[in-house]
Amino acid sequence: MTTTRGQGERLPAALRTEALEQLLTERGLIDPKVMNGIITTYETSVGPLNGAKVVAKAWTDPEYRRRLLADGTAAIKELGFSGQQGEHIVVVENTATTHNVVVCTLCSCYPWPVLGLPPSWYKDPAYRARIVREPRTVLAEMGLVLSDDVRIVVRDSTSEVRWLVLPERPAGTEHLSEEELVPLVTRDAMVGVAKAGTP
């Protein structure tokens, strides 16, 4: 549905969203604090935390890593993470010579069970168009500078296949347990626009 004003002038999506939120709040149908809490949880905790647990297990358990790369959906489900937007997840591994980065060029297909809600930049038309044409430049603009000898592979998520990046395990983490590795894994590293953190 398109909201219009005056002579068919369209309100920007952000204004329409804000107006709808204000109307629902005024009528007592939603509590903005509760809504903000839910959004924050999905953006920073529940989804990305699930993915971080998957990655940490793959880093510490070679057999699980093998299963994850062979059938991402099934291996992720072993840890209890499944559901809508996670029906078919393919996992690709970043290495010293190959770096994978994920985009959805048509909309914003994204593996919600392991990453939560997609960030605003992932849905931005500029990211969706430019990461395909000039991935090295876009990654550098986002803070990830890769050397010229690293091959970049752009993976296009669709409603049939959602990609998840298994980032490289950071050097110097060999002594860390699976639980200690989890905080090093960020959503951005699992999309491929960043590397995993260091201790």
Supply the pLDDT for residue 143.
Answer: 97
Supply the pLDDT for residue 4.
Answer: 42
Supply the pLDDT for residue 196.
Answer: 98
Q: Are residues 104 and 24 in the same domain?
A: no
Amino acid type, 88: H
In a domain, 128, yes or no: yes
In a domain, 4, yes or no: no
Q: Catalytic residue at 108?
A: yes
Candidates 45, 82, 104, 147; catalytic one: 104
The three-state secondary structure class of 95 is coil
In a domain, 7, yes or no: no
Supply the pLDDT for residue 45.
Answer: 56
Rounded Cα distance between 54 and 64, Å, is 9
Supply the pLDDT for residue 77.
Answer: 95
Q: Are residues 36 and 51 in the same domain?
A: no
Q: Are residues 98 and 127 in the same domain?
A: yes
How far is residue 130 from each of residues 135, 138, 164, 168, measured CA to CA in Å?
7, 7, 20, 24
In the chain, the number of structural domains is 2
Q: Are residues 84 and 125 in the same domain?
A: yes
Q: Are residues 119 and 24 in the same domain?
A: no
Q: Are residues 24 and 80 in the same domain?
A: no
Q: Are residues 115 and 164 in the same domain?
A: yes
Rounded Cα distance between 69 and 192, Å, is 16
In a domain, 169, yes or no: yes
Q: Are residues 17 and 99 in the same domain?
A: no
Q: Are residues 90 and 134 in the same domain?
A: yes
Return the bridge partners of 156, or none. Answer: 103
Q: Are residues 133 and 184 in the same domain?
A: yes
Rounded Cα distance between 49 and 27, Å, is 34
Q: State the 10-residue block means of pLDDT for the chain, 199 residues long.
A: 47 75 84 78 73 98 98 96 85 98 92 90 95 98 97 95 97 97 97 96
* Pair 103, 157: CB distance under 8 Å: yes
Q: What is the extent of the structural domain holding 176? A: 45-191
Q: Catalytic residue at 107?
A: yes
Rounded Cα distance between 105 and 138, Å, is 15
Rounded Cα distance between 195 and 190, Å, is 8
Q: Are residues 147 and 90 in the same domain?
A: yes
108 annotated as belonging to a binding site for a ligand? yes
157 annotated as belonging to a binding site for a ligand? no
- 27-48 burial, b at 16+ Cβ within 10 Å, e below that, comes to eeeeeeeeeeeeeeebbeebbb
Amino acid type, 124: D
Candidates 45, 107, 120, 159; catalytic one: 107
**pTM, 2 dp:** 0.79
109 annotated as belonging to a binding site for a ligand? yes
Q: Are residues 18 and 81 in the same domain?
A: no
In a domain, 60, yes or no: yes
Candidates 45, 82, 108, 120; catalytic one: 108
Helix or strand (DSSP H, E) at 141: helix 135-141
In a domain, 196, yes or no: no
